[in-house]
Amino acid sequence: MRGCVQRVSRASVTVAGRVTGRIEKGLLVLLGVGKGDTKAGAEFLAEKCVNLRIFQDENDKMNLSVRDVAGKVLVVSQFTLYADAKKGNRPGFSDAAPPELGKSLYEYFCGFVKEKTGDVQTGEFGAKMDVELVNDGPVTIWIDSSAAGLNPRLTS
């Protein structure tokens, strides 16, 4: 499972002209689910996201988590995080999870984040979405559950 985590001053996602999620200060998480991903990977990634100390403290050091600053989390599914562009110019997506697994783990991830933060805003899985954000910093962090050995297919 892969997450592109961005510290934002605001972000929103719109589907067919309807806002499905909107936050002010917090994190925008673009979430990709891979073929071999599991609930353990989703929990690992969710814990990392809500505990990342990437917000400034009183000494202007990145030392506080989204929970510490009472920030919000917006999660948007993005299978293109599993794009493979090694050959040619058209990316392949064979490492992305099939839609059923992707949706299940996306929803599990969102539920876990909600459990840890009290709220989570979302996009709409599988839909064409317009995502708007103001990246604060900019701060963008890449997290991959395979780094924790939670996806044997990708780590062997």
For residue range 19-61, list pLDDT tens digits in order. 999 999 999 999 999 999 999 999 999 999 999 999 999 999 9
Residues belonging to the chain:
156
Return the sign of the alpha-carbon dihedral for residues 132, 34, 38, 43.
Answer: negative
Alpha carbon distance 7, 135 (integer Å): 6
- Percent of the chain scoring above 90 in pLDDT: 92
Q: How many domains does the chain have?
A: 1
Domain that holds residue 27: 2-147
Out of 14, 20, 38, 80, the active site residue is 80
122 classed as catalytic: no
Q: Which pLDDT belongs to residue 106?
A: 98
What mean pLDDT is reported for the chain? 94
- Asked, for residue 98, whether it belongs to a domain, the answer is yes
- The reply to whether the predicted model has a pTM over 0.85 is yes
Compute the Cα dihedral for 140, 103, 67, 2 and give only its sign: negative
Residue 44 within any structural domain of the chain: yes
Does 156 reside within a domain?
no
Q: Domain containing 103 — which CATH number?
A: 3.50.80.10
> What's the token pair of residue 59?
């000494």
Residue 154 in any domain: the answer is no
User: How far apart, in Å, are the Cα atoms of 69 and each of 43, 57, 83, 110, 133?
Assistant: 21, 9, 33, 19, 19
Q: Is pLDDT above 80 for 147?
A: no
Task: Identify whether 39 is part of a domain.
Answer: yes
**Cα separation of 1 and 22, whole Å?**
23
Residue 62 domain-assigned (yes or no)? yes
Rounded Cα–Cα distance for residues 124 and 57 (Å) = 33
In a domain, residue 152? The reply is no
In this prediction, residue 146 carries a pLDDT of 81
Report if residue 153 sits inside a domain: no
| pLDDT over 70 at 153, yes or no | no
